[in-house]
A and B are shown apart, each in its own frame.
Chain A
Amino acid sequence: MSELFFTKKHEWVKVDGEHATIGISDYAQEQLGDIVFIELPDVDEDFEQGDDFGVVESVKAASDLYMPISGKVVEINEELEDAPELVNEDAMANWMLKVEVTNKAELEDLLTEDQYKDFIEEE
């Protein structure tokens, strides 16, 4: 059973046992507009929760991406290199990274889907 969490920086993380998949929310892609470039880290890179791990660039601006949880990168979505616009098409389905989770307790810092929905309504 996978659990879905969100951050206030508009990333989502889906946890499945020891692994987690990370992407950005539909709200984020909507705010960014046309995404033209995504820079992702390399496999095996280690990050702490809150580290900036990459960039998503729209026509007008570059936005940093922040790790929702600590982990080691095990896979990146190579499709996004040539087709970054996939994230605009479906932000939840088009994940960016898969990581090996190092500290499950960090999930307590994150928002549930309902909490995230409330959060963006107030923005």
Chain B
Amino acid sequence: MENAKKTPLYEEHINLKGKVVDFHGWALPIEYEGILQEHQAVREKAGLFDVSHMGEIRIKGKEAEAFVQYLMTNDIKTLDNGQILYTFMCYPDGGVVDDLLVYKFDREHYYLVVNASNIEKDFQWMKDQQKDFQVEIQNESDEVAEVALQGPKAEGILQKLTDTPLKEITFFTFKDNVTIKGKDCLVSRTGYTGEDGFEVYMKPEDAREIWTEILRAGEEEGIKPTGLGSRDTLRFEAGLPLYGNELSKDITPLEAGFGFFVKFTEDDFIGKAPLQKQKEEGLKRKIVGFELMKKGIPREGYEVYKDGEKIGYVTTGYLSPTLGKSIGLALVDIDHSKMGGTIQIKVRKREIDGTIISKRFLK
């Protein structure tokens, strides 16, 4: 743990008695008060996450739009200035390099927000794909801090700290140069929890003050600092994928169930042909949601069977804090992926029956 990098908010986590762990080389808290309490706070009130470990890569230049379009599966050209889209960046075979958000400033200026675990890989990948594109690619990850304020009370809390009418920052849009308690920030209405909320990007030296101010402003609403543990249980319940679990170089966006973010337009993008082929021929396996029919907790990596035959494995599973039942996501053979079907999940020494259900767990 001594070698783990500290975000600008490290001392705050210590002061708040966070249980700090090494997360992909970063010293971050899994929880403060407890994962269940923090999870519930986000669903019912508000939670504040330190997400400064995320990566930020800026792409500027005459051919920025064409370059970003080439890298991404989603249709970048549909973006308005100030708008954001969720997309995958794929390998030539259709496997995933990363899932990320693309913030469009204008056709010659994009800001990409990528997973902390993939920053170096993504940056190198983009540079390797640049070829003759007239663009500048800058890795700004170390120059920016970020917090995520998530929950039904998020807007009310953040509004206390800024004159910018937050109502104007609609879902999947952003505003740059928003002043929060005198500090210059970029604010987007985005998040990884399934709740309303904002992601706030700032200079590292402003992070501690903004963090403290948000917690103070949200005290009467019941805000809690929230850690990596609840970040995972929240995104899982909301059906959002985690790179490394539901997405990887071996799992395509189509297999993961996110074909909506793969747009086959006339433009080429890396991985287009194999993904198109996979779509036309039909998937051989896919990620399904399931619910356990007996007590037990289905965890990542547990094997899935159908009548004695191994058909896949659990990609993420929990005893859902909000729903109070054991649910999971599993990558299984297409023949056994129908809604309502019964599968067996090997939970430690037992095989427990599960039913395939919709991945929209919270609906």
Q: Which residues of A approach B to under 8 Å, CB–CB?
A: 33-34, 36-37, 39, 55, 57, 59-62, 81
B8-16, B76-84, B258-266, B295-303: which lies at the interface:
B295-303
The answer to the question of B223 belonging to the interface, with a C-beta cut-off of 8 Å to chain A, is no
Across-interface contacts of A36 in B (CB, < 8 A):
36, 297, 319
The chain B residue sitting closest to A30, CB to CB, is B19
Given the complex, which residues of A lie within 8 Å of B321, measured CB to CB?
59
23 A-B pairs within 8 Å (CB atoms) are namely A33-B19, A33-B30, A33-B31, A33-B35, A33-B229, A34-B34, A34-B36, A36-B36, A36-B297, A36-B319, A37-B296, A37-B297, A37-B319, A39-B296, A55-B348, A57-B319, A59-B35, A59-B229, A59-B321, A60-B30, A61-B299, A62-B297, A62-B348
- Report the separation of the CA atoms of residues A59 and B297 in the bound assembly, to the nearest whole angstrom: 9
Residue-wise, chain B 233-252 has the 8 Å CB interface mask toward A (1 for contact) of 10000000000000000000
Q: Which residues of A contact B30 (CB under 8 A)?
A: 33, 60
Q: Are B36 and A62 in contact (CB under 8 A)?
A: no
Q: Which 4 A-B pairs have the closest CB atoms?
A: A59-B35, A34-B36, A36-B319, A34-B34
Which of B296, B318, B348 touches A59 (beta carbons < 8 Å)?
A: B318
A60, B296: Cβ atoms under 8 Å?
no
Shortest Cβ distance from residue A25 to the other chain B in the assembled complex, whole angstroms:
17
**B297 near A60: Cβ-Cβ < 8 Å:** no
Find chain A residues with CB under 8 A from B34 CB: 33-34
Query: Using a CB–CB distance below 8 Å, which chain B residues touch chain A?
Result: 19, 30-31, 34-37, 229, 233, 295-297, 299, 318-319, 321, 348
Q: How many A-B residue pairs have CB under 8 A?
A: 36
B30 → A minimal CB distance (Å):
7
A81: which B residues are within 8 A, CB to CB? 295
Among B35, B295, B348, the residue within 8 A (CB) of A60 is B35
A62 to B346, CA, bound (A): 14
Min distance, Cβ A114 to any Cβ of chain B, angstroms:
27
* Distance between B25 CB and nearest chain A CB, rounded to angstroms: 19
Q: Which residues of B contact A34 (CB under 8 A)?
A: 34-37
Q: How far is the CB of B27 from chain A (nearest CB, A)?
A: 17
Q: Would A62 and B35 count as touching, CB distance under 8 A?
A: no
Instruction: Say how far B265's CB is from chain A's closest CB, in angstroms.
Output: 41
Please indicate the chain A residues that have their CB under 8 angstroms from the CB of B19 in the complex.
33
How far, in whole Å, are A60 and B316 apart by their CA atoms in the complex?
A: 11
Query: What is the CA–CA distance of A62 and B297 in the complex, to the nearest angstrom?
Result: 9
Cβ distance B47 to chain A, nearest Cβ, rounded Å: 15
CB distance from A120 to the nearest CB of B (A): 16
Which residues of B sit under 8 angstroms from A57, Cβ to Cβ?
A: 297, 319
- Whose C-beta in chain A lies nearest to the C-beta of B299? A62
Cα–Cα, bound, A100→B99 (Å): 56
Q: Is the CB of B35 within 8 A of A37?
A: no
CA distance A81 to B296 in the complex (A): 11
A33 contact set on B, CB distance < 8 A: 19, 30-31, 34-35, 229
CB distance from A87 to the nearest CB of B (A): 13
Nearest CB in chain A: distance from B180 CB, A: 32
Chain A residue with minimal CB distance to B232? A60
Task: Specify which of A34, A36, A59 lies most central, judged by the most chain B CB atoms within 10 Å of its CB.
Answer: A59
CB-nearest residue of chain B to A84:
B319
Contact of B233 among A37, A55, A59 (CB under 8 A): A59
Residues of B within 8 A of A39 (CB): 296
- Using CB atoms, name the residue of chain A closest to B35: A59
Task: Name B31's closest neighbour in chain A (CB-CB).
Answer: A33
Cα of A37 to Cα of B320 in the assembled complex, Å? 12
Whether the Cβ atoms of B36 and A59 lie closer than 8 Å is: yes
CB distance from B42 to the nearest CB of A (A): 14
For B36, the closest partner residue in chain A by CB is A34
Q: A33-B30, A60-B229, A62-B348 are in contact. List 8 more A-B contacts (CB 8 A).
A: A33-B19, A34-B36, A37-B319, A59-B35, A59-B233, A59-B318, A59-B321, A81-B295
